[in-house]
């Protein structure tokens, strides 16, 4: 069996506490999810810049960026979506364990996929639903995807051909971009992150 040839070296590495002392921060994964055009990437970018101004070290794992590299061999079947989330979550977990504030911006349309990410990442996982309805996102359509989906040029488009499950009470935070500006959402997110780190 291949597993017999694998010998993890985690026990010999510098510990997480040493890394977090060096960075003067605690590692965490802010998992931002919602429909395409809901504001995930905008909020992730603004949050990263705000944290950087405070001297915090961050990384953004953006869904489209990951699909252009690490996950370029994956499509949008149920199996490929699950594998996409599994890989993203494993990478995010590795960053958080190094004391890095990690912002993940991925549609993550189903509850079971978010549960998978939470299981992999553990207590560092902070689920943040970026809320905006299909009609609003279609009106924004920053990447032209909704127009292409309506023209039948994109199959399995989330919210149209493929469903999107809104969270129940499992999300730690809901940021409604139909009601609040991106800047207001970022402030809410930063306040929540600050209160969490004080526990």
Helix (H, G, I), strand (E, B) or coil at 58: strand
| Tens digit of each residue's pLDDT (9 = 90 or more) over 147-184 | 777 767 776 677 665 678 999 999 999 999 999 999 99
Residue 117 to residue 89: CA distance in whole angstroms? 5
- Mean pLDDT to the nearest integer, 101-106: 97
Q: Report the side by side order of strands in the sheet with 58-62.
A: 58-62, 101-105, 28-33, 125-131, 173-176
| Tens digit of each residue's pLDDT (9 = 90 or more) over 25-39 | 999 999 999 999 999
Q: What is the pLDDT of the chain when averaged over all its residues?
A: 89
Please tell me the predicted confidence (pLDDT) of residue 11: 65
What pTM was computed for the model?
0.88
Tell me the CA distances in angstroms from 86 to 56, 65, 89, 100, one per residue in order: 26, 16, 5, 19
Q: Do the beta carbons of residue 138 and residue 146 sit within 8 Å?
A: yes
CATH 3.40.50.300 describes domain 15-197: yes
Residue 71 to residue 74: CA distance in whole angstroms? 6
Please tell me the predicted confidence (pLDDT) of residue 104: 98
Q: Which residue has the tokens 């510098």?
A: 14
């Amino acid at each position: 069996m291949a597993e017999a040839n694998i010998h993890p070296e985690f026990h010999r590495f510098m510990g997480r506490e040493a890394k977090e002392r060096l960075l003067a921060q605690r590692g965490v994964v802010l998992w931002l999810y919602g429909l395409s055009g809901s504001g995930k990437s905008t909020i992730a970018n603004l949050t990263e810049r705000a944290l950087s101004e405070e001297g915090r070290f961050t990384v953004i794992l953006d869904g489209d960026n990951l699909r252009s590299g690490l996950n370029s061999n994956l499509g949008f079947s149920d199996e490929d979506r699950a594998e996409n989330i599994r890989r993203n979550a494993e990478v995010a977990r590795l960053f958080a364990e190094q004391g890095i504030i990690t912002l993940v911006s991925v549609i993550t349309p189903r509850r079971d996929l978010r549960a998978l990410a939470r299981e992999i990442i553990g207590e560092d996982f902070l689920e943040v639903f970026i809320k905006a309805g299909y009609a609003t996102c279609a009106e924004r359509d920053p990447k032209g995807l909704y127009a292409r989906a309506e023209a039948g040029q994109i199959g399995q488009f989330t919210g149209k051909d493929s469903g999107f499950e809104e969270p129940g009470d499992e999300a730690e935070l809901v940021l409604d971009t139909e009601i609040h500006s991106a800047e207001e959402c970022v402030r809410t997110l930063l306040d929540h992150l600050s209160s969490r780190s004080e526990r």
